[in-house]
Structure 1
Amino acid sequence: MGVNFVFMRLIKMRPRSTSIYTKMIIAFIIATLPIYLLAAFLYNWSTTIIKKDITDSAQIQSTNYMKDLDNEIKRLAMMQNQLFNNDFLEELVNTSDTVHGYRKIELILNIRAQLLTVKNSNDDISDVRIYLPTMKSEISAVTGYGELNPDIITPDKLTSNYQLRANNGLLLMDAYPEYRVVNGMPDLIVEIELAPDVLKKTMVSSIQRDYTGAIQLRLNGEPLFDETINEGQKDWFKTGSENKTGEVTLHGQKFLLIHAKSTEFDIMLDHYIRKDLIFEKVNQIVKWTVVFFILTVLVIALYLIYINRTIRRPLVKIVRAFRHLEEGNFEMNIQHDKNDEFQYIYGRFNEMLENLKSLIEQVYKQEILIKSAELKQLQSQINPHFLYNCLFSVIRMIKLERTEQSVHFMEHLAHYFQFITRNARDTVRIEDEIAHARNYSVLQLARFSDRISVEFSDVPDDIRGVEVPRLILQPLVENAFLHGLEDKLEDGLFRVSVTSWNDRIVIDVEDNGDNGELEVAKMNLLLEASDEGPEVTAILNVHRRLKFKYGETSGLAVSRSELGGVKVSMTIQREVSLDEPNAHR
């Protein structure tokens, strides 16, 4: 109903005079009619020239591409030969039975580094592998060292010591030294896997033109990959064709077929040129006579004058208005005296200015609050005293020669800073936020030794992936340690539990500190502070962020804990689909 109302309102407000688009179409037809009349006389004369030029150009492009492909394959073959003489590879193959385990790993890593160098030297290469049949192993630049699958390389696949073959849509270059053949099988094979997508992209960018119908690359007479303009014609070119240039007809459509053959390998390139598209280019190369040139200049000049008055001037006016708007000038009003589309656009522009002024007034206060909260969040992310305490704890562990404990502690500290300095997103999964709070608690426990125990409940499976604002739980944990448990000499307890109730998520942070009533009163007074207060603490920052994002039913609530200390309950009100498993729980 609402959509129909808006649509009918737009129709009612739309000008009923002839549109600018219709005027432009009529003017364009009048301006271009002499051009097409003259082009008809020149068409027959130009078709023969264009056909020859396009055919010669396509032949040159195809031949040059095949030369470049030959040179590239030769260069890759030279890189294969260089790998044969690799000292690390020679040592690995010749001393495979006696080489020490550590040395073997070192050799494999050095060999893989060489393979990565070869792979990264050319975008056409997707992987470089070395097969060692006698060792029943292979080394790949991508996957590393692994066991050799005996079906990958067999004697019947190695027809020569250097070959180019296709396998399951992949283009492979296999090479091995003749002197390394043992019992009909070489003990060392270097294989370069070329990326078909990159080769195809290179082929298409080098050869394809507007008049191209299809391009096919064949290896040993079999199609390697092709590119067609019309998806429905894809099966036309699978069977190959005779190796000669000329005209062919496929399914009633005529093509000019251009062939180019590799001089070094059995690779053939077929370029199908659509004859119907060739002659559409005639009008682009026709040279107009002097009389025709004068006529068209005159018509175009009149047309430009008309366009300038009808379109350009109103457009310039509205562009200037937008520039004033960018400079912050909202006190303006533009008018158009003609009953056309520009009058409608000008009216909507004026209404937009009024709406913008109203919206700016409405959201100004909220923007100030958000900026203040964001600033407080950034300021509280790194606590210098917490960092100092962590560093002193590490120093103490190292002095006590607790190496393993210090390593684990530094890992937790690294995860902590990795989390708080990650600025790519404003939200994280709730299980990641709780994991960060648990990690922070582990760091705090280094100060309190055995005086405090920490308990974290499991996150329910149905809410693990729920996105929440970053750093909403750490300030609560930090407050519990600082104000509730720091003076606890023994049997301190800190607990975090997570529950899910229909459309609510509740996270409780509790401690058994000694000053429970006093802390509850102080925190409740803090949460009731005015929004205009000059000081926004970390706890109040979290409270306001939750309310701003999820509504007034979300936020923090402080009460006495059953443990004897303070209990801070964080409530997140969220929208739950009826299809979710816990929607009616």
Structure 2
Amino acid sequence: MLRNTNTKWRLSINKRLIIAFIVATFPIYLLAGILYNWTSDLLRKDIMTSTETQSQKYLSELNSTLSRFNSLQYDMLNDEYVIQFANAYDTLESYHKIQLIHFLRSKLVSIRNSSDFIVDVRLYLTNLDIEISANDGYGQLKVTDIPPEKLKDPYHLITYHDRLLSVAYPLESEYRTTPEIIVEIEMRTSELHRSFEAALEKDYSGAIVLGLGRNAKNMIVVNDDKLEQSITRQYGEMKQSTQEASPIQTNKDYIFVRSSLAENDLYIDHYLYTPTMFEPISKSIIWFWLFFGLTILMVALYLYYINRIINKPMVKLVRAFKRIEEGNLELNIHHNKEDEFGYLYERFNDMLINLNISIDEIYNQRIHRQNAELKQLQSQINPHFLYNCLFSIIRLIKMEKDKEAVHFTDQLAKYFQFITRNSRDTVTLENEVAHARNYAMLQLARFSDRVTVNFGELPNSIKALSVPRLIIQPIVENAFVHGLENVIEGGILSVSFLDKPEQIVVLVEDNGEDSEDAIKKLSALLSDTQDEQEISGILNVHRRLQYKYEPESGIKVSPSELGGVKIELTISRKEASDDVPDVNCG
């Protein structure tokens, strides 16, 4: 007697899984969260402090270097030889002018050589239109060499025509006409960029920006492609002041750190990439190993528990299904807990009982009935058809048409060979159509002067399809016996084939008499589900097709455009399969 399966399970697997998962993971992730937040905050503070200290150190060194350059410029402006050369140029002898030019150039060269950051040092004497360069020597001063843009921010870095310059002149001349003496230092941007990048760049640096003043372009180092466009657009422009320079909007993966020297308008902006910055956590924190070990232990215990309550019962059920697939229906599986698997096992055992009953009462009976009906159809040889065939052979012999008689006899032999062969219940559609065509040719011995037979071409795609034996010939026979028997002349029998995506259809049509009455009788015969009725050839074919294929298969009767009856024999493609016959069935 079956237990009541409507009662609730005492311990639901779903509830146990949820509870076990929460109990197993909550302390692990709680500990992991505490450790991560603590170490992240600590590391974040250390890195930000270190970055700011390093940036301040670099800014101080850069500021000292620029201050030294300004001191050298100031000393050059107040040099007595420069003043003597500028004020007494017209009174000096030529050789004395040359000596002063060489002496002044040597001082400019000395300034240039004092630092790798300096490309060239130039002295402009505007009242004399003279230029002296450490690199190019003495030359004629051009008006374009001293534009107003160069003079707007003395002793500070400016960018002019992509060159980084520091221009100095006596400050009392700032708001008058062009100063008489100007000292210009051109910085080597590549060397400055190299030192800046080497001093500050870290593995976790997403981008570094060095601000050189209100009128100088920033130096930018971008390591993350996601930041390049935004940083280049904002920092690529000259800043009016360090207060106006604000960090770009970035996502939570970046930390912004700014260091500045307001006295010289210098600043450094650091964008630190946090995923890379926090990598040392996994290598330097001892608590990580505790977290890792605890995680492994809890996961192992959880998996062991899952294996016991889910995996083992599931494997047992799967193996039982496999044994059923192998044909073993004498199974009985048990589960000692009242949970979902207990219910499944009980239903599985009930299913096996019902399956065995179904096989005995339905499947085997239908197979036996199908085979019996096929054997019955094979054994039903119409005596009138046999007599007519024999009379036709006698008539051909009397008329001394020996070849025709031999051919006719051969066709008749193939007909009986096909319907009496019991080795296979299925044949290829090609052989079935050939048998039906052979039967129609035998009938033409009687109807040749009254009936025309048209057999359509069988598509190559369905020739090898495996179908039950004797499904087309009984339909053709029905057309001759009930449709064309009394036709005096002009009778037509048409057999055609349709290859559809989901179905294969064989159409048998005639133009026989009394088609309306014949359609009613055939429709009533096919719609009657009583097993006790007399099994005719049409009904036999209809039932066997529905047994073998799905209910959409079978026979349908309707009026034909030829004027008689149209019978549609339908085979579903879902259950149909190709087959290669091992014998020639005629």
Q: TM-score, normalised by structure 1?
A: 0.40
Larger Rg: 2
Q: TM-score, normalised by structure 2?
A: 0.40
